[in-house]
Amino acid sequence: MLCFLLLTLHWTTVSAALQPSTRAAAAALQDDGTRPYIYRCRSPNMEIFTCWWRPIANQDNVTYTLLYTTGERAPQECPDYVTGGINSCFFDVKHTQVWEVYCMNVTAHTRTGPVASHKHCVDVADIVEIDPPFNLTYIMLNESVGESGRSVLLSWSYPVESQVREGWITLIYELRYRHFAQPDNWKMKERLREPHVELLDLPVGKYEFMVRCRSANSKHWSAWSESINITINGRPLSGTHTQRNTHTGPFCYERKSQL
């Protein structure tokens, strides 16, 4: 029984150190304000990353130092306390090594002496949180329709294009949309591998769309993109058979018009 408890405790400690998701549970213990607490690390692209900590409570004139180790190397001090804002450490390209575990701690230097945070370990691949997709645009499909609805092709651009091209990052997208008449009812298109999706036979009405992405290696979604609103009229458009708004993404879709 004791052995089981010890094993459980050991597992909890290890997973708390390695998995951001279990940090929230540990936060209650660690974030009581008596010591600094590293609460978040984020890389937008696997090339750089930033970690942030909460300062200790109710003390003036406290300065902080962050020390980190990778592999067997000797501890080093944070290379840049400025770029990521207050209480942060920024690791530029030169200081970011993918597939290495970074273990770090923050020490608060107070009038009564130093107080160190718990150790926090991250693998850069696990903390990738990409910027949201952008340039979400659409094309109406279905050249002539009755009242029933229309199909729409949505496409978007994504950040980190060079990392995707070189295979460093595989992106997964999620599109959500809602009918204006049912604003609490978001519908989802999940696990999209391409930066476009076709929605078949959308019923007549007005819709709002947005899209987000994450690295396949990471649990962290980007923020949602800016939304676009699309009105499905269900009647043939006069003039052209294809309506498109500014189309700038890498994906190109051509339709013949039959005038």
Ligand X SMILES: *[C@@H]1O[C@H](CO)[C@@H](O)[C@H](O)[C@H]1NC(C)=O
Each as own residue / partner, the long-range contacts of residues 143-148 (CB below 8 Å, 24 or more positions apart, any chain) are 143/236, 143/241, 143/242, 143/255, 143/258, 144/236, 144/241, 145/234, 145/235, 145/236, 146/234, 147/204, 147/234, 147/235, 148/201, 148/203, 148/204, 148/234
Instruction: Give the shortest CB-142-to-ligand X separation in angstroms.
Output: 4
Taking the least distance from each CB to ligand X, the nearer of 219 and 247 is 247
Taking the least distance from each CB to ligand X, the nearer of 7 and 200 is 200
Q: In what order do the strands lie in the sheet with 37-42?
A: 37-42, 49-54, 88-91
> Which phi and psi (to 5°) does residue 243 adopt?
-105, 130
Instruction: Give the shortest CB-4-to-ligand X separation in angstroms.
Output: 28
Rounded distance, CA 8 to CA 15, Å?
10
Instruction: Give the shortest CB-39-to-ligand X separation in angstroms.
Output: 17
Taking the least distance from each CB to ligand X, the nearer of 8 and 76 is 76
Taking the least distance from each CB to ligand X, the nearer of 119 and 219 is 119
Instruction: Give the shortest CB-3-to-ligand X separation in angstroms.
Output: 27
Residue pair 20/26 in contact (Cβ under 8 Å)? The answer is no
β-partners of residue 189 are 175
Instruction: Give the shortest CB-206-to-ligand X separation in angstroms.
Output: 8
Residue pair 254/241 in contact (Cβ under 8 Å)? The answer is no
Rounded distance, CA 23 to CA 38, Å?
10
Instruction: Give the shortest CB-248-to-ligand X separation in angstroms.
Output: 4
Give the residues lining the site for ligand X (CB under 6 A): 60-61, 67, 69, 75, 103, 105, 116, 134-135, 141-142, 145, 148-149, 151, 157, 200-201, 208, 227-229, 248-249
Taking the least distance from each CB to ligand X, the nearer of 12 and 148 is 148
Instruction: Give the shortest CB-2-to-ligand X separation in angstroms.
Output: 27
Continuous H helices in 1-89: 2-18, 23-30
> Which phi and psi (to 5°) does residue 47 adopt?
-100, -25
Rounded distance, CA 172 to CA 182, Å?
27
Q: Is 124 exposed, middle or buried (0-12, 13-18, 19+ CB in 10 A)?
A: buried
